[in-house]
């Protein structure tokens, strides 16, 4: 599974240690296309699905549970290097 930024105690600890915690938290939320970090429960739902009989035919898949982190958006253009470029 490929999780995006998840709002966990460790993430909060890292944000709190930054020079501007509010700006750092806003930046973490802004990384996701939906505008908010994921929750541990959201990641757990994906794990529960993958561990269930409902996913019995899923093999070798990379499931992105990233809130749109990997989707170019917000003015990003295609970059062959894979990083997205501000237009």
Domain containing residue 54:
2-86
Entry pTM: 0.71
Find the CATH number of the domain harbouring 64: 3.40.50.720
CA 50, 7, 77 angle in degrees (round to 5)?
Answer: 80
pLDDT tens figures, 20-74 = 999 999 988 888 888 899 999 999 999 999 999 999 999 988 998 988 887 765 5
DSSP string, 53-70: GGGTT--S---EESTTTT
Number of domains within the chain: 1
Euclidean distance between CA atoms 58 and 81, whole angstroms: 29
Phi and psi for 45 in degrees, rounded to 5? -65, -40
State how beta strands 76-77 and 85-86 pair.
Answer: antiparallel
pLDDT at 87 over 70: no
Q: Give the pLDDT band of residue 75 (cuts 50, 70, 90).
A: very low
Euclidean distance between CA atoms 7 and 32, whole angstroms: 12
pLDDT tens figures, 6-22 = 999 999 999 999 999 99
């Amino acid at each position: 599974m490929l999780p995006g930024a998840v709002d966990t105690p460790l993430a909060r600890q890292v944000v709190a240690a930054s020079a501007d915690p509010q700006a750092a938290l806003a930046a973490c939320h802004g990384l996701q296309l939906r505008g908010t970090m994921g929750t541990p429960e959201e990641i757990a739902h994906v794990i529960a699905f993958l561990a269930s009989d409902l996913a019995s035919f899923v093999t070798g898949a990379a499931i992105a549970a990233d809130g749109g982190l990997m989707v170019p958006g917000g003015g990003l253009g295609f970059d062959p290097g894979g990083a997205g470029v501000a237009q």
